[in-house]
Structure 1
Amino acid sequence: MNGTKKILPIIVVSQFLCTSLWFAGNAILPDIIKSFPTELNLLANLTSMVQFGFISGTLVFAIFSISDIFDPSKVFFICGIAAAVFNLGICLELTDVNMLLLFRFLTGFMLAGIYPVGMKIAADYFKDGLGKSLGFLVGALVLGTAFPHLLKNVTADFPWKYVIYATSTLSLIGACCIFLFVPNGPYRMAGQKFDLLASFSGFKNVNFRSAAFGYFGHMWELYTFWAFLPGMLLLYNNTHQNPSLNISLFAFLIIASGSLSCMIGGLLSQKFGAKRIATIALSISGLCCILSPIFLFSSSVYIFLIFLFIWGLAGTADSPLFSSLVAKNAPDALKGTSLTIVNCIGFAITIISIQVINILAKQIDSHYLYTMLAIGPVLGLFALSKGIKSTSNL
């Protein structure tokens, strides 16, 4: 039992270290743009390529049931090393933007062996209290996603490549920690060989469908909010020159605040039920989308920042709860594959959302741009209402 208690911190730290690669490109975007000044859609495309790589990776992992058939710790280790190497690729003297996008794609592809596989490892160790465990695990993902913005702020006086060197080094450390200190969990069930229909068998279960579609609604909003958050801060700076906000620092703080809400949400789910807490969080984040025309353009910097922090907290609090509900209602022998396929679809939705907002940004008044994100929470709440008893504690 004592050994098991030590496992969760190792998984959490390793997840944080490896997922710091996710938004590394976004954190140094102003520097990258200098090399590709004619690429007007670089923010959307750079983010989308990581997401597309992740989707492609999760699809391959799901089709071949990799995290169920093979030792998940070894899969995590190999992917963590490979992701670190591909991340370093953007430090080369690139003159073709397609090569830049390719390296971000390959980094995203390897992240498919880190994020969902990390959840699979946790599910193999913590059958009871999974919501709490995944709360800490997804919190680590959120903190890892935010971390490059902090690195950019700290290394502002150094070349931008230092951010890439640092995140790749962290990924190497995280991969080694999993390999050396996390063996197969006591609840791991050997997976079956590839069966395309079996990969989607979880969707026959109404509770699985409810959790999965709730998660899809959540994903429509979350990564688009993260991707465009620096733009929101920059717009405020351009509109209100005094005070001038530190964009990298506040992007980190707002995104990172979601790591706390993930952990708190996981703990609250133990008492009040995962569905109830997820419903509350999704309702608040959906309300933030609807109210964004009022608060994103407030003349008060305090109201503006408080609103963004509330949005950042609510937008992530439900993420581990959806994952735990998916894991709980997935077929035992395909738990890892089910988590992977749901992640695959969820991240495909983020690409659509990011590109939709990018296109609409040129067509409609910026005041109303982010109200489009409310579509996800509304549909997610509808899906949640169709299944899963609210008393289900995880």
Structure 2
Amino acid sequence: MPTLILAIAELFGTALWFTPNAVLPDLMALWTLTPADLGWLTGAVQGGFLLGTLIIGLSGLADRVDASRLFAACCLLGALSNALLPLAGGLQGAVTLRVITGMCLAGIYPVGMKLMVGWMPGRSGVGLAWLVGMLVLGTALPHGLRGLTALDEITLSWRGGIWSASLLAVLGGIMVWRLGEAPCQTRATPVRGLRLAGLSAFRIRHFRHAAGAYFGHMWELYTLWALLPLLLATRFPSLGTAELAFASFALIAIGGPCCWIGGAFSARLGSRRVAQFALAGSSLCCALYPLLSELPATGLVAFLALWSALAVVDSPQFSALSAHACPASIVGSALTMQNAIGFAISMLSLLTLIPLWQTTGPWIAWLMLPGPIIGLWCLHGYTRRQDTAPSTT
């Protein structure tokens, strides 16, 4: 039951992540924005997340306070910054609020990983798969909320989608606050001189390979998620607001159950094999999309669903491989630093590639292709001998 509560709370908390993407047409009309501004809105969250992970990881904050209280506080502050988005008045104010939201998400996602490991000793690989799956559903959730609000013919009903996401984040924070810490998890005492332990992990060969594969994966993933509504709207201009929102929700959300399935397979095949399969599949999808972008509706949506699933199913497996490669004393710092660099790469990808979408069209997929290819190359150096159960610390 505690793991289920934590997984649902992670879903509610991460609903804040892609909120403006779900209501982009409304924001574009209200503030006279261009499609390229989507990159700034999404990139601002990634930048805030990067800053937040660096602050938490290098200051030892997660070890100085109860992780459950930190999680809850970040949910509440993130909900507030998200709820103020309709009052931002333009792109500059919106970007500022999204940076704050991203910083709060740094206390939700990585801290949630720490909590899940505490509540699932000995099964952290499966637990991380459930957690990332909930992150995927949380990312898709704003699109679903937008679709529901679009069904009502109420002026400016899109605000309801934003505020609904904030309400869910508040509920998630309350759930974890009441749950508290795992009985077997005690607050660690920070050791002087080890605050930069996350950086020292890069001296470990197998960690470098696992982290490098994760970095390649991050070049593709969030750009793909940001592009999905635009790809659908361009290919099917007759789609209504609700139809587009629900379709975007389904295409992103499919990655959640696929992460859980991948976690089950990793118990038998190992995390490395699952990650290699997903990277190879998403590479193939990147290569083929420009050639298949004119498929009939059913075929194209099926292809996009497959691509979306393959792009994320490997994410928890990278964390499992990285955790296994590191000594127990630095696993938390190493994963936090890996997240920080990975999301910096995703921010760079968003700010670089999204503005090019108008000129490249479906060929933008080839600009995402180097990410999973580099990931495959890096993961090749993670030897099979190392591909066993991940550390539970």
Per the shorter chain, which TM-score range? over 0.9
Report if the CA contact (8 A) 1:124-1:188 is conserved.
Answer: no
Please show how residues 278-297 of structure 1 align to structure 2 within 5 Å.
Answer: 278-297=275-294
Please show how residues 80-159 of structure 1 align to structure 2 within 5 Å.
Answer: 80-92=75-87, 94-156=88-150, 157=152, 158=154, 159=157
Task: Give, in whole Å, the separation in 2 of the partners of 1:326 and 1:308.
Answer: 29
Q: Which residue of 1 aligns with 2:15?
A: 20
Report if the CA contact (8 A) 2:141-2:249 is conserved.
Answer: yes
Q: Which residue of 2 aligns with 1:50?
A: 45
Aligned with 1:306 (options 287, 302, 307): 302
Report if the CA contact (8 A) 2:36-2:355 is conserved.
Answer: no
Report if the CA contact (8 A) 2:142-2:161 is conserved.
Answer: yes
Match of 1:229, SS state, is helix
Aligned with 2:54 (options 50, 56, 59): 59
How far did residue 75 of structure 1 move?
A: 0.9
Task: Give, in whole Å, the separation in 1 of the partners of 2:3 and 2:281.
Answer: 29
Q: 1:243/1:54 Cα in 2 relative to 1: closer, same or farther (>3 Å)?
A: closer
Q: Which residue of 2 aligns with 1:248?
A: 245
Task: Give, in whole Å, the separation in 2 of the partners of 1:105 and 1:289.
Answer: 29
One-letter amino acid of the structure 2 residue matched with residue 237 of structure 1: F
How far did residue 116 of structure 1 move?
A: 0.6
- Per-residue CA deviations over 1:363-382 (Å, capped at 9, x if unaligned) read 5x423111111111011111
Match of 2:122, SS state, is coil
- Per-residue CA deviations over 1:176-226 (Å, capped at 9, x if unaligned) read 111111324515561424645423121122221111111111111100000
- Per-residue CA deviations over 1:244-297 (Å, capped at 9, x if unaligned) read 992111100010000011000001100110000111011101110011112222
Task: Give, in whole Å, the separation in 2 of the partners of 1:302 and 1:357.
Answer: 27
Moved more, 374-383 or 37-46: 37-46
Q: 1:163/1:379 Cα in 2 relative to 1: closer, same or farther (>3 Å)?
A: same
Task: Give, in whole Å, the separation in 2 of the partners of 1:107 and 1:33.
Answer: 20
One-letter amino acid of the structure 2 residue matched with residue 123 of structure 1: V
Q: 1:244/1:95 Cα in 2 relative to 1: closer, same or farther (>3 Å)?
A: closer
Task: Give, in whole Å, the separation in 2 of the partners of 1:244 and 1:109.
Answer: 30
Report if the CA contact (8 A) 1:15-1:141 is conserved.
Answer: yes
Report if the CA contact (8 A) 1:191-1:333 is conserved.
Answer: no
How far did residue 65 of structure 1 move?
A: 1.8
How far did residue 341 of structure 1 move?
A: 1.1
Q: Which residue of 2 aligns with 1:69?
A: 64
Please show how residues 192-341 of structure 1 align to structure 2 within 5 Å.
Answer: 192-193=190-191, 195-238=194-237, 246-298=243-295, 300-341=296-337
How far did residue 69 of structure 1 move?
A: 3.0
Q: 1:344/1:253 Cα in 2 relative to 1: closer, same or farther (>3 Å)?
A: same
Q: Which residue of 2 aligns with 1:3?
A: none
Moved more, 39-48 or 276-285: 39-48
One-letter amino acid of the structure 2 residue matched with residue 295 of structure 1: L
1:172 aligns with 2:162: no
Task: Give, in whole Å, the separation in 2 of the partners of 1:191 and 1:372.
Answer: 44
- Per-residue CA deviations over 1:147-200 (Å, capped at 9, x if unaligned) read 110111111024111112111111111111111113245155614246454231
Report if the CA contact (8 A) 2:115-2:181 is conserved.
Answer: no
Task: Give, in whole Å, the separation in 2 of the partners of 1:154 and 1:366.
Answer: 29
Match of 2:264, SS state, is helix
Task: Give, in whole Å, the separation in 2 of the partners of 1:190 and 1:308.
Answer: 43
Report if the CA contact (8 A) 1:15-1:137 is conserved.
Answer: yes
Task: Give, in whole Å, the separation in 1 of the partners of 2:239 and 2:16.
Answer: 33
Report if the CA contact (8 A) 1:10-1:178 is conserved.
Answer: yes
The number of residue pairs the alignment matches comes to: 384
Matched-pair identity in % = 35
Consecutive unaligned residues of structure 1, counting only runs of 5 or more, are 1-5
Task: Give, in whole Å, the separation in 2 of the partners of 1:389 and 1:128.
Answer: 21
Moved more, 330-339 or 365-374: 330-339
Report if the CA contact (8 A) 2:45-2:102 is conserved.
Answer: yes
How far did residue 314 of structure 1 move?
A: 0.7
Report if the CA contact (8 A) 1:20-1:171 is conserved.
Answer: yes
Q: Which residue of 2 aligns with 1:369?
A: 364
Consecutive unaligned residues of structure 2, counting only runs of 5 or more, are none
Moved more, 241-250 or 38-47: 241-250
- Per-residue CA deviations over 1:3-23 (Å, capped at 9, x if unaligned) read xxx221111001001000101
Task: Give, in whole Å, the separation in 2 of the partners of 1:326 and 1:66.
Answer: 21
Task: Give, in whole Å, the separation in 2 of the partners of 1:335 and 1:226.
Answer: 28
Task: Give, in whole Å, the separation in 2 of the partners of 1:176 and 1:106.
Answer: 20
Q: Which residue of 1 aligns with 2:159?
A: 161
Report if the CA contact (8 A) 1:20-1:170 is conserved.
Answer: yes
- Per-residue CA deviations over 1:133-153 (Å, capped at 9, x if unaligned) read 111111000001001101111
| Structure 2 length-normalised TM | 0.93
